[in-house]
Amino acid sequence: MIKRLARKFLRFRRDEDGSAMVIEFVIFVPMLLGAFLMAAEMGVYSMRQMFLDRGLDLAVRYVRLNTNVPLTHRQLKDMVCGYSGFVPDCGNTLRLEMTPIDPRQFASLPPLPDCVDVSEPVSPVRGFTLGQEQQMMLLRACVKFKPMYPTTGLGFAWEKDGSGRARMVSMAAFVQEPG
């Protein structure tokens, strides 16, 4: 019985039928699977970005039309999170920067956005100033999210913090309406 099985195994091992198909399978299937994973990751990222942009736009509309209403960073953050529905853990990972901008002497925000790193101690909010009437304002939101596939494709390529979260940034510029 064992000799028969050994002979069949040796004959199977010597047979070269289909070997070209195996090589193609080994090369192309991982690439195809990687492309599918990257497409899924990009779709979810795009949807989150769209919801963050929408939430920021609706919050900016409220701030722009209610100039003399004092708002705190927490209130504006809750407003953005309330309007943007598909941003996971928004209340803990969203950070806003709002500064007045002089259009005649434009000085942009720092190149790296102020983001929350949940693996480090809490740092104070950087640059949050409510504007005056007829003043141009720049608002930048940074939210951290966990990639769906952190070890492949886009999830691997994104810069991540100590807790394995990548950042998503949205900006809005507006002029405060007169009261």
- pLDDT of amino acid 61: 92
Average pLDDT over residues 99-124: 75
- pLDDT of amino acid 153: 82
* Domain locations in the chain as residue ranges: 19-175
Evaluate if residue 65 carries a pLDDT over 80: yes
Residue 122, token pair as written in the block:
């809490």
User: In this predicted model, what pLDDT tens digit does every residue of 141-167 receive, in sequence order?
Assistant: 999 999 998 888 888 888 888 888 999
Q: What contacts 115, CB < 8 A, 6 or more positions away?
A: 95, 142, 143, 144, 161, 167
Q: Quickly list DSSP for 2-52.
A: HHHHHHHHHHHHH--TTHHHHHHHHHHHHHHHHHHHHHHHHHHHHHHHHHH
